[in-house]
Structure 1
Amino acid sequence: MEKKTQLVHLKDGTSLLVPFILITSLFFLWGFAHSILDVLNKHFQDALGITKTKSALVQAVVYGGYFLMALPAGAIIRRWGYRTGVLTGLLLYGTGALLFIPGGSLQSFGFFLFSLFVIGCGLTCLETAANPYVTVLGEPAAAERRINLAQAFNGLGWICGPLVGGFFLFAENSESNISLPYAIIGVVVLLVALVFSRIRLPEINPQVTKDPEKKATGENHRTDLWKQQNFTYGLITLFLYVAAQTGINSFFINYATEQAGISAHEASIWLSFGGMGLFMLGRMGGSWLMGYLQPEKLLALCASGATLAMLAVIFLSGEMGLSGFFLCFLCESIMFPTIFALAIRGLDEQTKRASSFLIMSIVGGAVAPVLMGYIADTTTMALGFIVPLVCFVEIGCFAMGYKRVKS
């Protein structure tokens, strides 16, 4: 009972359960937006006759939006608060989704990329606001557990994305319709924005634990931030994690159809219920395990498992190679929220600014799919997964070398 109370209560006993529930609902929305991209890759290859390398631009423009929008999003949050950041993100997300309605008539790959870029900018605002906000909605010692629990609902969005996308784009005996799922999600997102426009979110400021001598001398916060080893190493690690996750999800369907011989529709169902189901369960289980095991130790174990999984994907084939993905999805589950929380631990009043840079590092998702697509086009699809393999090795190094600090 004590652990549950500490999870969403401040030290003075103030309950933050309601804002926690409201913010957690947002995690589902951007999980859906990201996971449906993995279905779009294969759809555009078939419908528009483009290469794997070119289809990877789907991820590149969305994650490129993270790179360009992260600092402006952070400035909005520092100036006007978390709620304004959430509203800005929801409005951009909803607008970009509704642009798919004219996009369905134009059938222009360039227009689809522009629509996805707008969505990416909206997701940047949501993540820049929601990720750090969840870490401060309770006891600092439970920050990693809290963000993993919230991210479990992100995992639910990852389940729904491939399922909905596969139904509309790959269902047999029916014409693919790319506009309808985006029109529905656009309306839902704008309705959520209306709800958030009518409520107030408490602004929680992290406890200041900086050396009073540094505060008295006015030491530059920008210099301080970049001297924090956990933050700078965490920034690189988060870049590589998102690169690995995005690359794996982007080409799972290609691998399944080419190496395991199953249909694209069946592969999208496996990705939804199998891969993303394990991803969600892993986050829920990880949140529980962190009540007994230090987050960095659990991260090291998961990185080791993901490395072994990628070796299976590269060197095995058929069902054996495909099974490696499911171990990887389970191991990936806790990585993003754990790396994020470890990187900002102990940064105090610099948390919002640090979060902007961490969200900026999500641009790693724009790099890996293009690189993997090029390797697949020139060699084999299986060999392309050497990219996430290298990323997981580095994540393990970050976890094992993490220097624990008080929050």
Structure 2
Amino acid sequence: MNNSNHIPNYRGPLAVLTVLFFMWGLITSLNDILVPHLKAVFTLSYVQASLIQFCFFTAYFIVSFPAGRLVESLGYKKGIILGLCTAAVGCLLFYPAAGAHSYTFFLLALFILAGGITILQVAANPYVTILGKPETAASRLTLTQAFNSLGTTVGPLIGAVTILALVEHSTDASSVQMPYLILAGMLLVIAIIIGLIKLPQIKGGNEEVQTNSAAPHQEAKSIWQHKHLLLGVVGIFMYVGAEVSVGTYLISLMESPEVAGLTSSAAGQYLALYWGGAMVGRFVGGVIMAKVKPSHVLAFNSIANVILIGLAIAMSGKFAMWALLCVGLFNSIMFPTIFSLALDGLGKFTSKGSGLLCMGIVGGALLPLIQAIFADSIGLLTSFFVPMIGYLYILFYGLKGYRVQPLNTH
């Protein structure tokens, strides 16, 4: 039929989208470099330094739902271009922020940068799930997100040699200027390329989105009737919060004498293993989930991370460092799996559902802040019980919460 004629054309758009996933992964992981760097530059406490992640991920909460409506009216392509341009503006603002030596200015630049990435997330994630068969949506999104993890792996390596290496010799914030200027240029180039190429014209409110669930199809009158979506929003909140919390404080943990006693630049390079594990896990997970139920893989990985964090807290020393680095491997499939399971069966509400799910990314703002409060009071290593709670909720979602419930039409 007509649909089969379009399937071969999806390879090109998916290839373009992998570049986007790579870029926002790289940019997001650079926050893990900014936290210890600006903590040293401005002499901040853990709570004050956590405002970097707080401002960045709060943008998701504020921008996501309006972005869903925007993508619904503009379409995915224009939404992606708008997101790229907004993110580029945020990167450019790092230059005057460093020149003014203002922490507040840095936080503003991060908020704008994150606003652009939010629009990208809202547009690109559901676009990937739509470009192909519904039953392989989780596998497809996981493989595409693997390139996001490639970006998060490269980011700490770049940041370690261009930003953190200077911390040991200087308290100058200017080391961030050139890397973020280059990022701004790359984002604008990608926006121009996407503007020039042809992408399938699928509007944000596409009513032809199919369902992979076995539940009988009923037309929902409101997006709030989809319980599995709402539980998925909490799942995204917990996952992103847990992932960001671990990534944010790993460098400081590896620097502490009772754990590994590493230098800032060495710890930054080890952090690449955390994100690299997520990359490897997504490539492997994308293949596994083409044959194994995504919910089963999600539950298994959640249990693994609960065990790893529990052992890290109990054992301390270098064992704790390696156990927490391994958490990245099992993080791998969580975001795309929760995202695709939560979008299952939403039909015309797909873009709005994507906006709601991206609002859950605010967990990356709140959980690191909560962990910072405990880190300042009971110690950094013990404070890792906060992300452990997040993984326990994801276990529930993988076992039960993901199931599409019959709609209550009354």
**Residue in 2 that maps onto 1:158:** 152
**Residue in 2 that maps onto 1:189:** 187
Note the alpha carbon deviations across 1:6-63, whole angstroms, 9 max, x for none.
xxx9545632111111112100111011100001000011111011100100011111
**Residue in 1 that maps onto 2:269:** 269
Q: Note the C-alpha offset of 1:134.
A: 0.2
**Residue in 1 that maps onto 2:338:** 339
Structure 1 residues 266 and 233: CA distance shift in structure 2, 3 A: same
**Which amino acid letter does the alignment assign opposite residue 251 of structure 1?**
Y
**Residue in 2 that maps onto 1:302:** 301
TM-score, normalised to structure 1's length? 0.92
Q: Note the C-alpha offset of 1:399.
A: 0.4
Note the alpha carbon deviations across 1:186-228, whole angstroms, 9 max, x for none.
111111111112123213335366999965xxx62x2xx2222
TM-score, normalised to structure 2's length? 0.91
**Residue in 2 that maps onto 1:401:** 400
**Which amino acid letter does the alignment assign opposite residue 93 of structure 1?**
A
Give the 3-state SS of the residue equivalent to 1:114 in structure 2: helix
Q: Note the C-alpha offset of 1:174.
A: 6.1
Query: Which range moves more in the overlay, 203-212 or 385-394?
Result: 203-212
Check conservation: 1:59, 1:369, Cα contact below 8 A. Answer: yes
Give the one of 56, 59, 64 matched to 2:53: 59
Identity %: 32
Check conservation: 1:59, 1:366, Cα contact below 8 A. Answer: yes
**Residue in 2 that maps onto 1:132:** 126
**Which amino acid letter does the alignment assign opposite residue 262 of structure 2?**
I
Give the one of 39, 59, 84 matched to 2:78: 84
**Residue in 1 that maps onto 2:27:** 33
**Which amino acid letter does the alignment assign opposite residue 99 of structure 1?**
L
Give the one of 53, 62, 65 matched to 1:68: 62
RMSD (CA atoms): 2.0
Check conservation: 1:76, 1:84, Cα contact below 8 A. Answer: no
Partner Cα distance (1:252, 1:56) in 2 = 13
Q: 1:3-402, aligned counterparts within 5 Å?
A: 11=4, 14-15=7-8, 16-171=10-165, 177-204=175-202, 205=206, 207=208, 220=221, 222=222, 225-258=223-256, 259-272=259-272, 274-402=273-401
Check conservation: 1:98, 1:186, Cα contact below 8 A. Answer: yes
Note the alpha carbon deviations across 1:290-329, whole angstroms, 9 max, x for none.
1221000000100000101111222221111111112211
Partner Cα distance (2:199, 2:66) in 1 = 21
Check conservation: 1:53, 1:373, Cα contact below 8 A. Answer: yes
Note the alpha carbon deviations across 1:100-144, whole angstroms, 9 max, x for none.
111121110000000000001000000000000000111111100
Give the 3-state SS of the residue equivalent to 1:157 in structure 2: helix
Q: Note the C-alpha offset of 1:229.
A: 2.4
Check conservation: 2:239, 2:335, Cα contact below 8 A. Answer: yes
Give the 3-state SS of the residue equivalent to 2:132 in structure 1: coil
Structure 1 residues 227 and 261: CA distance shift in structure 2, 3 A: same
Note the alpha carbon deviations across 1:324-363, whole angstroms, 9 max, x for none.
1122110001000000000011111111111110011101
Give the gaps of 5 or more residues in structure 2.
Answer: 406-410
Query: Which range moves more in the overlay, 256-265 or 52-61?
Result: 256-265
Structure 1 residues 31 and 10: CA distance shift in structure 2, 3 A: farther
Partner Cα distance (2:365, 2:321) in 1 = 24
**Residue in 2 that maps onto 1:5:** none
**Which amino acid letter does the alignment assign opposite residue 249 of structure 2?**
F
Q: Note the C-alpha offset of 1:279.
A: 1.0
Check conservation: 2:228, 2:404, Cα contact below 8 A. Answer: no
Structure 1 residues 256 and 11: CA distance shift in structure 2, 3 A: same
**Which amino acid letter does the alignment assign opposite residue 199 of structure 1?**
I
Q: Note the C-alpha offset of 1:170.
A: 2.1
**Which amino acid letter does the alignment assign opposite residue 208 of structure 2?**
Q
Check conservation: 1:82, 1:201, Cα contact below 8 A. Answer: no
Partner Cα distance (1:374, 1:301) in 2 = 30
Structure 1 residues 209 and 250: CA distance shift in structure 2, 3 A: closer
Structure 1 residues 383 and 138: CA distance shift in structure 2, 3 A: same
Give the 3-state SS of the residue equivalent to 1:401 in structure 2: helix
Check conservation: 2:141, 2:336, Cα contact below 8 A. Answer: yes
Note the alpha carbon deviations across 1:234-274, whole angstroms, 9 max, x for none.
111111111101111110101111122111111110111x1
Give the 3-state SS of the residue equivalent to 1:260 in structure 2: coil
**Residue in 2 that maps onto 1:3:** none
Partner Cα distance (1:21, 1:96) in 2 = 25
Partner Cα distance (1:352, 1:65) in 2 = 18
